[in-house]
Amino acid sequence: MRVAVQVTADARHELLKLLARRFPDEGDALRFAALFVEDLEQQFLRHAGPPPDSYSRRVGNGTVWWRYTDGIWANFTTATRGSRLLGGVRRIITVIGFEANPPELETRK
């Protein structure tokens, strides 16, 4: 199965806001955000989702929260497109947000 990863502009902005609280220099926050997005995409591509030994939780609205690293959770959806007869099935992973402490998980810790 081929995998495609998309990170929405809103999600990138949320990640940058999270990192801006951790780094006094805006340039450092921008560089780390780019590195995090690149690493996250590579992990999704390698595993067709989050790594199997990672911590993730599916929530009621069909999205998944993945604990990417301490204090950074990625919220994503998956969709399957295509057919085996017409060139293969493709899984599309779309990262739609980042949070330090996802509100959907607070009652399920």
* CATH code for the domain in which residue 85 is found: 3.30.2310.20
pLDDT over 60 at 108, yes or no: no
| Per-residue pLDDT at 59 | 87
64 burial class (0-12, 13-18, 19+ CB within 10 angstroms)? middle
Please report, rounded to a whole number, the percentage of residues in the chain having pLDDT higher than 70.
91
On whether the CB atoms of residues 4 and 76 are closer than 8 A, the answer is: no
Residue 52 burial (10 A CB sphere; 0-12, 13-18, 19+): exposed
Percent share of the chain, pLDDT over 90: 67
CA 26 to CA 73: how far, in whole Å? 21
Residues 31-53 have pLDDT tens digits of 999 999 999 999 999 999 999 99
Query: Can you give the residue range of the structural domain that contains 101?
Result: 2-108
Please give the tally of structural domains in the chain: 1
Give me the pLDDT at residue 31, please: 95
pLDDT of residue 82: 76
